[in-house]
A and B are shown apart, each in its own frame.
Chain A
Amino acid sequence: MKKLDNYGYMFIVPFFIVFITFTIYPILLTFYYSFTNYNGMGDPEFIGLANYSRLLTDSYFYSAFYNTMYIWGINFFFQLSIALLLAILFSDIRLKMRGLNFFRAVFYLPNLITIASVALLFGILLGWHHGTINHLLMDLGIISSPINWLNDPTTARWSVGLIGAWMWFGHTFIILMAGISGISKDYFEAALIDGANRWQTLVKITLPLLKPIMLYVLITSLIGGLQIFDLPMLITDGTGAPQGSLNTMVLYLYNQAFRYDNYGYAAAVAYGLFIITVIFSVITFKSMYRSNVKEG
Chain B
Amino acid sequence: MKKNNIVKGILYAVLVLLVIISFIPFYMMIVNATRTNSEILQQGFTLIPGTALMQNYDTLIQYMNLWRGFANSLFVAVSVTLLSSYFSALTAFGFAVYKFKGKNFLFILMLVLMMVPGQLGLIGFFDLVRVMGLLDTYIPLIIPPIAAPFVVFFLRQYLMTVMHPSLLEAARIDGAGEIKIFHKIGLPIMMPAVATMAIFTFIGSWNNYILPLVVLFSPEKYTLPVMMGALRGSQVAENLGSMYLGIAISVVPIMVAFLFLSKYIISSISAGAVKE
Interface residues of A (CB under 8 A from B): 4-12, 14-16, 18-19, 21-33, 82, 86, 89, 94-95, 97, 99, 101, 103-110, 112-117, 119-125, 130, 132, 135-136, 138-139, 166, 170-171, 174-175, 177-179, 181-182, 213, 216, 223, 226-227, 229-230, 233-234, 237, 250, 253-254, 257-258, 263, 266-267, 270-271, 273-274, 277, 281
Name the one of B15, B228, B266 contacting A116, with C-beta atoms under 8 angstroms: B228
Q: A16-B106, A120-B229 are in contact. List 4 more A-B contacts (CB 8 A).
A: A10-B94, A18-B147, A132-B28, A270-B120
Asked whether B63 is an interface residue with its Cβ less than 8 Å from the other chain, the reply is no
Q: With A22-B147, A124-B240, A175-B270 in contact, do A230 and B210 touch (Cβ < 8 Å)? A: yes
Contact between A257 and B94, CB atoms less than 8 A apart: no
Q: Which 9 A-B pairs have the closest CB atoms?
A: A11-B94, A8-B98, A29-B124, A26-B124, A26-B121, A178-B270, A116-B225, A19-B147, A135-B44
Distance A18 CA – B149 CA, assembled complex (angstroms): 11
Nearest chain A residue, comparing its CB with the CB of B94: A11
Contacts of A89 in B (CB 8 A): 11
**A114 with B250: CB separation less than 8 A:** yes
With a cutoff of 8 Å between Cβ atoms, the chain A residues found around residue B21 in the complex are 166
Question: Complex: how many Å from CA A6 to CA B103?
Answer: 11
- A107: shortest Cβ distance to chain B, in Å? 6
Instruction: Specify which chain B residues have a CB less than 8 angstroms from the CB of A121 in the assembled complex.
Output: 25, 29, 244, 247, 251
Measured between beta carbons, the chain B residues less than 8 angstroms from A112 are: 203, 254-255, 258, 265
**Given the complex of chains A and B, what is the CA–CA distance between A103 and B271 in angstroms?**
19
Looking across the interface, which residue of chain A has its beta carbon closest to that of B32? A132
Are A27 and B98 in touch, CB under 8 angstroms?
no
User: Is B189 in contact with chain A by the CB < 8 A criterion?
Assistant: no
Q: Is B125 an interface residue (CB 8 A)?
A: yes
Residue of B nearest to A265 (CB): B123
Q: Which residues of B contact A105 (CB under 8 A)?
A: 258, 262, 266
B61 at interface by CB-CB < 8 Å:
no
Contact of B266 (CB < 8 Å), options: A97, A99, A174, A263: A174
Q: For the complex, would chain B's binding face be called helix, strand, loop or mixed by DSSP majority?
A: helix
A11-B91, A130-B240 known; A117+B119 contact, CB < 8 A: no
CA distance in complex: A219, B110 (Å): 19
Contact partner of A23 among B126, B144, B210, CB < 8 A? Answer: B144
Q: Is the CB–CB distance between A114 and B120 below 8 Å?
A: no
The 8 Å CB contact of A7, one of B44, B103, B119, B178, is B178
Question: Bound state CA distance, A119 and B146, in angstroms?
Answer: 29
Give min CB distance, A277 to chain B, whole Å: 6
Known: A16-B106, A117-B247, A174-B266. A136 touches B95 (CB 8 A): no
12 contacting pairs across A/B (C-beta < 8 A): A4-B178, A15-B152, A22-B144, A26-B122, A27-B113, A116-B225, A117-B224, A132-B40, A174-B270, A175-B270, A177-B270, A181-B270
CB pair A95–B8 under 8 Å, yes or no, is yes
Contact A117 B228 (CB under 8 A): yes
Alpha-carbon separation in the docked complex, A59 to B100 (Å): 51
In B201-233, the 8 Å CB interface with A consists of: 203, 206-207, 209-210, 214, 224-226, 228-229, 231-233
Check B22–A107 contact: CB distance below 8 A. Answer: yes
Chain A hits for B58, CB < 8 A:
none
In the complex, what residues of B have CB within 8 A of residue A182's CB?
A: 274
Residue of B with least CB distance to A263: B123
The residues of B with any CB-CB pair to A shorter than 8 Å are 4, 7-8, 11-12, 15, 18-19, 21-23, 25-26, 28-29, 32, 40-41, 44-45, 87-88, 90-91, 93-95, 97-100, 103, 106, 110, 113, 115-128, 140, 143-144, 146-147, 149, 152, 178, 182, 203, 206-207, 209-210, 214, 224-226, 228-229, 231-233, 240, 243-244, 246-247, 250-251, 254-255, 258, 262-263, 265-266, 269-271, 273-274, 276
Q: Are A6 and B254 in contact (CB under 8 A)?
A: no
Other-chain residue from A82, A109, A119 in contact with B255 (beta carbon distance below 8 A)? A109
Q: How far is the CB of A134 from chain B (nearest CB, A)?
A: 9
A170 to B270, CA, bound (A): 12
Complex Cα–Cα for A94 and B87 (A): 47
Shortest Cβ distance from A139 into B: residue: B45
Contacts of B231 in A (CB 8 A): 120
| B265 engages A104 (CB within 8 Å) | no
Other-chain contact of A30, B29, B124, B266 (Cβ < 8 Å): B124
Assembly CA distance A263 to B96 (angstroms): 40
Say yes or no: B273 contacts A19, CB within 8 Å. no
Q: Which of B106, B119, B262 contacts A273 (CB 8 A)?
A: B119
Q: Is the CB of B207 within 8 A of A114?
A: yes
Complex CA gap A213/B270 in Å reads 11
* Contacts known (A120-B243, A274-B117); A12 close to B106, Cβ less than 8 A: yes
- The 8 Å CB contact of A179, one of B87, B97, B121, B274, is B274
